[in-house]
Structure 1
Amino acid sequence: MSSILTNSSAMVALQTLRGINSSLEKTQSEISTGKSVGSAKDNSAVWAISKVMESDVAGFDAVSDSLATGQAMVGVARTATETITDLLKDIKTKVIASRDATASTTKLQNETDELISLVESTISAAQFNGVNLINSGTGTSVVGSIDRSGSSVTANTITIDAQNLNTAAAATAAGQLAAGTTSGTNLVVVGNNNDGAVSIASGAGESFGLSAVAQDETITVTLGDQNFSYTVTADDVAAGNDANEIALSNLRDLINAAGITGVTALYDPVNAAGELVVDNQGADDINMTVRVRADGAGALAGLNGFSITGGTALADIETMINASIDAAAAFGAAESRLETQSDFLSNLTDALKTGIGALVDADMEEASARLQALQVQQQLGTQALSIANQAPQNLLSLFR
């Protein structure tokens, strides 16, 4: 039945044209924005995933900035310690030169004092944005990554340990030093019972004892030009342990392991505190000094009042050079780690961006082909609607 009230063909054509126009609008949006999922209404699940990933990318960008700052900070500390190492080597040459009988020790000492001033100014200047990693024992941390587990995110940090190269004189230690009784009593205790010195004759021995050593205090024995140090730990001072015995036993092992010709060490529990006995069966006399230093003393504290003609000057400067080298190596390793982490984050960010693109980016080749097809369909739909709209006019011929 034909009807002038209901044009089914026109309604079908109109519905088809609406669908074509909707698809055409979506395709044009993809082409203009470059995204197949531009909002939550396009695909809510994919859109939500992409937004979480985009937030992580933004977080990684911030972490990269933190790592760059950390690299600069550690780089300043590393450069400073390398400079200090070179200056300490220069001081070592002055110490060696002072051993020459014809040397002017006064001039050499003046030159050494200038070098020490340079070391101190380098330590003071080695700061980045107010953080100085070599002038105290306080380290810092750098944000190294963000870790996601489901909907929770945590920031991971990389700890940068400080290397205390401060030259300030060490505070008075609680630990006390006493001349020995079991093998010679010639150790001359000076200062606040924290320092002692003696020359051990060939074929003789000398001993010393400790008392009241505290956690983090360092006991150093110098024999000739070699230093042997032990730092008291928290376990050493724990209930039931004898920190004095532990420290002396460790020093004994270090001395014996050094293999100094004719020199042996043993721990003698002659009294409550015990003593370390150093026996010299070598051909020559050997100088021994013993020092107890408090917690917090910088590795270059020996430069405070340093004398190139001191009996332990060469051993002391060698110890300080090694400390500076170790500090530079530690900073170098930390800087390398930060650089590696930065490279990893860069690659990870690129991978995330690629993943986001795979989820929401439009396939431009496909969109172009679809646009062409939809434009043809739109034209045909318009023609079909025009034809359908003309159908009621054909009914006029029935009434002629």
Structure 2
Amino acid sequence: MSSILTNNGAMVALQTLKSINSNMASTQSEISTGKSVANAKDNSAVWAISKVMEADVKGFKGISDSLNLGQSTVAVARQASETVTDLLTDIKGKIVAAQEENVDRDKIQTDIDALRDQIGAVVGAAQFNGLNLLANTDTTAGSGSINVLASLDRSASGVAASDISVAKQDLGSSAQAVGTRTTNTGGSNSAIADGATALAITFTGTPEAGMSYEVVAGGLAFSAPVQYVARDGDTLGDVTNKMVDALNEQAAIDEIDVSFATNATTGQIEMTNNTGSSITVATADVFQSAASGESDGTVGGGLANLADIDVTSQSGVDEALVRIEGLIQTAVDSAANFGSVQGRIETQSDFISGLTDALKSGIGSLVDADMEETSARLQALQVQQQLGVQALSIANQAPQQLLSLFR
């Protein structure tokens, strides 16, 4: 049945043409934007995922800048530590030269003083953007280390930032000064046989910057009490290890054949008698800052003993030779620690760079248009559009056929 009121063929052709035009508009949008998902209307789930990932990419760009800044800061500190190590090695050479009695020790001491001043200049200049990792005598909480933003960790519960902690390595030469020490944590009067381990020393509590610790072992004929002032960030283990180093150094200076070590199980400092005969420790008193929190000591630099090096006398030469070994080890440890952290930051920086590229690639695979496929689809749609227009034209001409029936 034919009708001049209802043209079914035209309606079908018109709906087909509308569909083709809609698809063509979508395809042209993909070509112009380069995206198959340009907004939430196109695909809300994929669009939401892509936006979250794009936000992470922005964050990782900021992290990359943070890592570059941290790497530069640590590199400056490492280079300065290595330079200080070289200068201390030069000082050791001067000290060894001073062992010979037929030399002008005063002139050697002048050279040592010049090298010591140069070490101070190097440490003072070892800063990047105002941050010096070779100075750690502050008593402000948190001064013992810095954090370098390293990553954003996304999980189902949200996003958390992770850091790389960089511990400061003090190579300053400022002197320490112990403050109030009112707690006597023990003493002993005992005979220690050759080869025996005794004289257990225990420190307690939580160290704070400025807290003072001291061991007075009169029976060992130490020429001076062994002292240490805790710096910010020190744990009880750090204090114990520092005191062990200081006790061994003092024993070497006073030429007493005993050695100290930290008991890995108890955390106590233990002394081993290596003298070849039994010795009696008349007093071995251990002091630490009061439990109430006395923190009035002055924190010393890591190279504080550098000021005590004096080769103008034979006894001074002998003492200097012992002290310089510990100072060199302190500088070497500092350079090694900074080198290790710098390597970690560089590795993290490379990882963040690769991760950023991977995220960008992932976002692209979600929302970018396949231009080869889109181009082919556009060509096909253009042909379909032409055919649709032709079909609609034919359908619109159908009622004209009815006029022939009325002639």
The TM-score range, normalised by the shorter chain, is: 0.7 to 0.9
Displacement of 1:75 in angstroms is 0.3
2:235 paired with 1:220: no
In the alignment, the residues of structure 1 paired with residue 53 and residue 217 of structure 2 have an alpha-carbon distance, to the nearest angstrom, of: 67
Give the structure 1 partner of residue 208 of structure 2.
Answer: none
Alignment partners' CA distance in 1, 2:262 and 2:161 = 34
Task: Give the corresponding residue for 1:101.
Answer: 101
SS at structure 1 position matched to 2:247:
strand
Percent identity between the two aligned chains:
50
* Contact residue 182 and residue 207 of structure 1 kept, 8 A: no
* Matched residue, 1:343: 350
The TM-score with structure 2 as length reference comes to: 0.76
Matches of 2:88 and 2:147, distance apart in 1:
29
Query: Corresponding residue for 2:134?
Result: 134
**What's the CA shift string for 1:197-251, capped at 9, x where partnerless?**
99xxxxxx9446979988637343434468967799xx97xxxxxxxxx44x2xx
* Contact 1:175 1:213 (C-alpha < 8 Å) held by counterparts: no
Paired residues of 1:181 and 1:207 also in contact (CA < 8 A): no
Q: Would you say 1:165 and 2:171 are equivalent positions?
A: yes
For residues 68 and 267 of structure 1, what CA distance do their matches in structure 2 show? 58
Question: What are the equivalent positions in structure 2 for 1:27-38 lying under 5 Å apart?
Answer: 27-38=27-38
Task: Tell me whether 205-214 or 329-338 shows the greater mean CA deviation.
Answer: 205-214
Measure the CA separation in 2 of the matches of 1:299 and 1:21.
78
Give deviations 1:316-357, integer Å, cap 9, x for gaps. 111100100000000000000111111111121122112111
The structure-2 alpha-carbon separation of the partners of 1:211 and 1:353, relative to structure 1 and needing over 3 Å to count, comes to closer
CA distance in 1, matches of 2:401, 2:359: 63
Shift of 1:271: 5.9
What is the TM-score of this pair, normalised by structure 1?
Answer: 0.77
Question: Does 2:322 align with 1:318?
Answer: no
Quick one: structure 1 residues 11 and 47, their matched pair in 2 at CA, closer, same or farther if it must change by over 3 Å? same
Structure 1 position 69 matched with structure 2 position 69: yes
Partner of 2:46: 46
Q: Distance in 1 between matches of 2:103 and 2:125?
A: 33
Task: Output the CA distance in 2 between the equivalents of 1:57 and 1:175.
Answer: 54
1:147 — aligned with what? Answer: 153
Q: Is the 8 A contact 1:220 1:230 kept in 2?
A: no
- What is the aligned partner in structure 1 of residue 303 from structure 2? 300
SS where residue 312 of structure 1 aligns? helix
Q: Which runs of 5+ in 1 are unaligned?
A: 184-192, 199-204, 237-245, 257-261, 275-293
User: Residues 147, 195 of structure 1: CA spacing in aligned structure 2 closer, same or farther, 3 A cutoff?
Assistant: closer
| Equivalent-residue separation in structure 2 for 1:212 and 1:115 (angstroms) | 26
Q: Distance in 1 between matches of 2:49 and 2:10?
A: 43
Equivalent residues of 1:306, 1:313 under 8 A apart: yes
Mark the CA change 1:230 to 1:135 in structure 2 (over 3 Å): closer, same or farther: farther
| Structural RMSD (CA) | 3.5
Distance 1:327 1:350, change over 3 A: same
State the aligned residue count. Answer: 344
Q: Is the 8 A contact 1:211 1:273 kept in 2?
A: no
Larger strand share, 1 or 2:
1
- Residues 264, 126 of structure 1: alpha-carbon distance in 2 compared, 3 angstrom cutoff: farther
Partner amino acid, structure 1, of 2:76? V
